Amino acid sequence: MNDVVPVSRAVKWLVGDRLALVLHIGDGPLAYELADQGHDVTIVGDDVTAVRHRHIAYVRSQGDSLPFRSRSFDAIVAPELNDEVAALAEYARVLVDDGLLSTMTRRYDDSIPWMRKLRTITGDRSGSITPVDTFTASGLFHPPQIQEFNAWQELDFPTLMRFAESTKHPAVPAAALSAVHELWREYGEQTGSLRLRHETQCLRARVDKSQLAADPEPPDTVLIDFR
């Protein structure tokens, strides 16, 4: 596999230039890329069911109230960022002063025949671009910075399978991925790799705690940490 440099640069840009304490909302591939870069990552969400990385802390939690003390994280990465004021206020609460709230959207080139076929197998999970004003809706974040990265990536068969698993729609059963073997035989077996083109848009905004009320105590929540 040849992992094109801009992919790792894009992930690094989300949390800044230093190693950081990162809260990742939901169990997703971005969390694992950040952990592999050396960041101290905690995953929180109702989709936490098992330990998948020995250097990541897993916390199962329901609802919008984050079960962490105020000023616990340098950065929050939310793959699906909405503009609900309650959620944005929680993100602002658990960030350190000047901490970062970030999101990243990856879009894949569907003009490539094998990619169109893979989408049919895994289900369509085309990312929608987060509106810039989502960050400023609550008045708790400074105007966001934007970076865009375009890159090619070469996938061998194991990497293709991991890519299919990470982009599979939740409604698609895992057994459906057996069709990826036939896709590989048709498009990748002779050359030993498939080329994937993707466009990545990253947004990040620094918290503005001047409008935040006095820090409340963390919510009374039952935590399950799988470390």
The tokens describing 140, both together, are: 């708790």
Rounded-to-integer distance, Cα 32 and Cα 25, Å: 12
- pLDDT: is 219 or 66 the higher one? 66
- The pLDDT score that the predictor gives to residue 161 is 92
Confidence label for 30 from pLDDT (cuts 50, 70 and 90): confident
- The pLDDT score that the predictor gives to residue 127 is 56
Average pLDDT value for residue range 136-161: 88
- The pLDDT score that the predictor gives to residue 157 is 95
Q: What is the pLDDT of residues 174-213, one digit of tens each?
A: 899 999 999 999 999 999 999 988 788 899 999 998 877 6
- The pLDDT score that the predictor gives to residue 115 is 92
Provide the mean pLDDT of the chain: 85
Residue with tokens 């966001």: 144
Span of 24-38, 98-112, 133-147, 210-224 with lowest mean pLDDT: 210-224
115 close to 109: Cβ distance less than 8 angstroms: yes
Q: What is the pTM of this model?
A: 0.73
Is 85 a residue whose pLDDT tops 60? yes
Confidence label for 214 from pLDDT (cuts 50, 70 and 90): low
Highest mean pLDDT among 2-6, 58-62, 174-178, 181-185: 181-185
- The pLDDT score that the predictor gives to residue 5 is 44
**How many C-beta atoms surround the C-beta of residue 13 within 10 A?**
19
- The pLDDT score that the predictor gives to residue 1 is 39
- The pLDDT score that the predictor gives to residue 106 is 79
CA count, 13 A, side-chain hemisphere, 219: 13
The tokens describing 36, both together, are: 């592999």
E strand or H helix that includes residue 175: none
Beta strand spans in the chain (E): 21-25, 40-45, 56-60, 73-77, 95-108, 145-155, 194-206
Phi, psi of 226 (to 5 degrees): -90, 5
